[in-house]
Each structure stands twice: as structure tokens, then as C-alpha cells.
Structure 1
């Protein structure tokens, strides 16, 4: 049976890997394991040992504490009080949107942000 902490840490590994644009294969090679093991970690199927988490954090250029962020703040049934999914950054589309947003030049990004703000108020 999957432990909720293992599932949370696995989701954070996947989140950080996506944010860096790294594949499971690339992460596995950096850590010295097979990509199937990364898959099992990311689903929470396998528990990540402290030393392996240290290696993963190093490979993903993140502090170990990153993988535990939000653990105390989890909302029941995966929903936040705002009605948005509790872990929006685990959604691949949301991550791609954020990555694309920051690739836009700053002056255009501000205008896009203002447009999004106006459109969300219109709804």
C-alpha cells in the first residue's frame, strides 16, 4: 500500500523534473539507476531512501526540503479552498504553460498577465 508521504515526495520529484525539462531517463542516468525506478518513485510505488533522495535533489538542483513542501498543507480530496486542484503544479499542461510564460520577454509577459487578469474577471 502506498504511503501518502511517499506519493507526495514522488509527485514533487516529477514536478521538479518537469520544471527542469529533464526526462526520467536523464534523471536516472544522473542518479545511477534505471528509469523504471524513477517511474516507481514518482508514483509513490517505491519509497525513496534518504541517500537516494539526496542524490535526486542534487541531480535536480533542489534542496531536499523541496520534496516535502506542501505536505502539511494538503487539502482533502485534492481541492483547495479556491476550487482549484490542490497540486496544480503536478499538471503537465500547467507546467508547460508556466515554462512558456517565462520564455516570453518581460514587457510582453506583463501585458499577457494583464490580459489574463481581465479575462478571468470577465468570467
Structure 2
């Protein structure tokens, strides 16, 4: 009878996990990164600031930043709130995610607008924050300066492409 009780009673070593513990991943999962980038992209396309979106869904803008940078995972209910606030379907955040399209064997990458990626980046957000704090007249001048620099660089690139090897650049392009 005691042998029978011993068989029915689980041993402590069976109940406790033995062996190595599962490794905690330090890098975010690619799907979390994709969803975070999509949240940032849709937010920027909707012309909504992080603070505005965070306020509308009842979280801090720091928490929203963590979602967008995939430092924190977004729950299904929070993703639903974000989608509702931005007036897009929840599926929009999964567009372009490899393996998401059942009709397509090979996933096609979404066309990327470099400007949106830059605006969604930390550097882009810092630049925008700095510009927002400038007086409107100064912002206009900064914008004109950036446009002029872009035109000059494009002109220099065109001249460099048209030069033949061994030919010296025009005098206005030479530096001494």
C-alpha cells in the first residue's frame, strides 16, 4: 500500500523545472520591431505627435516611444486602441510583415519612403523638436538654408558626374 502511495505522489524533482533556464532575449523580436515601426509611420502619416496619440489612448508618450522602438511589446488591446485612435484597421500594423500574406508565397517589402523613416527615427524626432521650438521666422530661414544646401549639393554631384578623369574641377569648386 505504501508503495502505491509513493507512486501516486509526485516527486519534488519532477515538479520543479530541472535543466537550464530559458534564455531571455535582449533583442526585440522582428515582428515587434515591424509593428513598432508601422505605429510610428502611421502616426507620422496621420500628422499626429507622440504626445497627442499617447494622450488619446491613455498612456505616457514615453510608453508610446517604447512601443515604437520595440523596447516594450504592444498588447492586442493596446494595438486596437492605437488603431482606433489613428482611424486605421489593426491589420495595417502587420502590412509587409513576412509570412502575413496568405496569398503570397514570398513576402514583398513595402515601398519605403525615406522621409517617413527619418521622421520616425530618434534623430528625426530630435530635429523636429528643435525646429518646433524656433520662432516661425527662424524656422522659415532654416528651411530656406536647407533647401539651398540641397540645391548646391545636387549641383556639385552633377558636375562631379560630368567630369572626365584627369579633368580639373571648375575654379568655383576648387578648394585651396
TM-score, with structure 2 as normaliser: 0.44
Paired residue secondary structure (1:26): helix
Distance 2:85 2:119 in 1: 20
Q: Deviations over 1:56-81 (max 9, x none)?
A: 00001000000000001366xxxx9x
Q: Give the alignment partner of residue 47 of structure 1, picking from 73, 96, 99.
A: 73
Q: Give the alignment partner of residue 65 of structure 1, picking from 86, 91, 105.
A: 91
TM-score, with structure 1 as normaliser: 0.62
Higher RCO structure (Cα 8 Å, ≥6 apart)? 1
How many residues are matched?
Answer: 85
For structure 1, the 5+ residue unaligned runs are 81-85, 94-123
Distance 2:108 2:71 in 1: 19
Query: RMSD of the TM alignment (CA)?
Result: 2.3
1:92 correspondence with 2:119: yes
Sort the Cα spacing of 1:59 and 1:42 in 2 relative to 1 into closer, same or farther, 3 A: same
For structure 2, the 5+ residue unaligned runs are 1-26, 99-106, 121-176
Q: Give the alignment partner of residue 26 of structure 1, picking from 52, 58, 64.
A: 52
1:38 correspondence with 2:64: yes
Larger Rg: 2
